[in-house]
Amino acid sequence: MNSRIHYTKPSITEKEVEYATDAARNGWGERCYEYIHRFEVFFKQHLGVNYAIATSSCTGALHMGLAALGIGPGDEVILADTNWIASAAPITYLGANPVFVDILPDTWCLDPQHVRAAITPQTKAIIAVHLYGNLCEMDELLAIGEQHGIPVIEDAAEAIGSIYHGKRAGSIGKFGTFSFHGTKTLTTGEGGMFVTNDADLYEHVLTLSNHGRAKGQARQFWPDMIGFKYKMSNIQAAIGCAQIERIDDLIAAKRQIFSNYKTHLSGLPVSLNPEPTGTVNGCWMPSIVVENGVAFDREQLLATFRADNIDGRVFFWPLSMLPMFDSKPENKVSYQIFNRAINLPSYHDLTAPEIERVAQHVRAYLGA
């Protein structure tokens, strides 16, 4: 049997091992936050923002950010129907209601026209999720938000390396959140980051992130409000420090993998991750969407992959299809695209022959 092609895995070198070992051996007592603070500094410099808070997950970062904006029971938060549950779950934690709207057929991200139509007096935020590294139409979304006095939040969990007209994804909205799960371009195993340029919001989230204990509070173990426990560990941050030192190479590897796929799949009736003029796609997860009218069964193609020891992923289901939410079949693009698409293997060390091997199965399946 051919060697296994994983759909994704992290790029770990001796640098990550060295830093994590140092944190495990020496990162205690007065040094227990040393790598965390270093990672926050490095990450905000990379992103070009003023403030960053390392967290245990992107979900936790989003939860705290929404809480700091005062979102609560009865409020509504608009986001795309095609998403992973982690973008919607924190809304429900606060007793608010996620409002799922349709996506654009080319970027697979939030459709501003449907956002505008979904706004009600209860709308308190818009979450722009940069799906698979593809970028939302931020200028349009920000204009809608400004018109209605609604903050636009960026879920950039999948968009490290993506740039929107000179600004890195996650640095544009009221706040941004990132994931460093083991599948992501930059990893800490598990982990996330909250970023913002708003000083007051940063202080509020910083307090929430420490069980409600304010930074300037002189009394020990005195929380000023009910907060959360979404901290990143020092050992995780040590791995993150090594990764951020390699960030340009990690992003470049992802983009090269995507470029290779694009070459091998040219001429097929499929769409791949777009890169509109003025943008850079970080290419976290190369994906194909088969054109309407072309016979396609994603399970058959994934079975073909498995037979050759190749991993693949299904495209995200519409969240409104899940049993905990109300169905919204009027989101026509979301309800059509998921079963005509798959995510392709894309780990950093994927070789050119392995990419060709994956592409050959796609071409054979589509009759090319």
Single out the residue in 212, 245, 278 at which a domain terminates: 245
The pLDDT of residue 136: 98
- Which CATH number is 258's domain given? 3.90.1150.10
pLDDT-derived band at 16 (thresholds 50, 70, 90) equals very high
Distances (CA, A) of 181 to 184, 259, 331, 368: 6, 24, 29, 36
Looking at residues 270-297, what average pLDDT do you find? 97
Q: What are the tens digits of pLDDT across the range 110-152? A: 999 999 999 999 999 999 999 999 999 999 999 999 999 999 9
Domain shared by 192 and 311, yes or no: no
Share of the chain above pLDDT 90, in %: 97
Is 7 among the domain residues? no
Single out the residue in 204, 230, 245 at which a domain terminates: 245
Domain shared by 137 and 200, yes or no: yes
**pLDDT of 311 higher than 80:** yes
The pLDDT of residue 87: 98
pTM, entire model: 0.96
Domain shared by 206 and 284, yes or no: no
- Of 195, 244, 213, give the one whose Cα is nearest residue 58: 195
Average pLDDT over the chain, rounded to an integer: 97
Q: Cα–Cα distance between 281 and 162 in angstroms, integer?
A: 5
The pLDDT of residue 1: 76
Domain shared by 120 and 191, yes or no: yes
Is 2 among the domain residues? no
Domain shared by 237 and 255, yes or no: no
Domain shared by 134 and 266, yes or no: no
The pLDDT of residue 367: 82
Domain shared by 211 and 139, yes or no: yes
Looking at residues 22-45, what average pLDDT do you find? 97
**pLDDT of 44 higher than 80:** yes
What's the count of helices (H) and strands (E) in the chain, helices before strands?
A: 12, 14
The pLDDT of residue 110: 98
Domain shared by 146 and 216, yes or no: yes
Contact of 247 with 239, CB cutoff 8 Å: no
Q: What are the tens digits of pLDDT across the range 74-119? A: 999 999 999 999 999 999 999 999 999 999 999 999 999 999 999 9
Single out the residue in 245, 270, 298 at which a domain terminates: 245
Is 1 among the domain residues? no
Contact of 24 with 157, CB cutoff 8 Å: no
Instruction: Name the domain count of the chain.
Output: 2
Q: What are the tens digits of pLDDT across the range 318-368? A: 999 999 999 999 999 999 999 999 999 999 999 999 999 999 999 999 986
The pLDDT of residue 368: 66
Q: Cα–Cα distance between 80 and 320 in angstroms, integer?
A: 10
Is 9 among the domain residues? no
Domain shared by 107 and 43, yes or no: yes
**pLDDT of 208 higher than 90:** yes
Range of the domain at 288: 248-365
- Which CATH number is 226's domain given? 3.40.640.10
Domain shared by 174 and 33, yes or no: yes
Domain shared by 21 and 73, yes or no: yes
The pLDDT of residue 215: 86
